[in-house]
Amino acid sequence: MKRTRRNRTVQSELNRWRWWEVRDLKQRWRMKEMEKTERRRSAVTNDKTATSKAKLMEKLEYKKKKKQKERKRK
């Protein structure tokens, strides 16, 4: 029995992505990656601001207490 050759062009056409589909997919992927990094970056900065704010508050409290002590001495 003779083996029939499958029409490869149709098959390749089915498997092949259009260039704009690939482009759109890449853009979507890039956007997702950007969002991930942005989220990570913002989380870090938020943490930094929170800690610096806490440090600043501690400093202010320390100064306040110091002033009160000095007033008591006088």
> Is residue 1 pLDDT above 70, yes or no?
no
pLDDT band at 26 (very low <50, low <70, confident <90, very high): very high
Comparison of pLDDT for 7 and 38, the residue scoring more: 38
State both tokens at 42: 């913002």
State both tokens at 22: 């690939």
Burial 11-49 (b: 16+ CB within 10 A, else e): eeeeeeeeeeeeeeeeeeeeeeeeeeeeeeeeeeeeeee
> Is residue 6 pLDDT above 80, yes or no?
no
> Is residue 42 pLDDT above 80, yes or no?
no
Mean per-residue pLDDT, 40-58: 75
SS3 74: coil
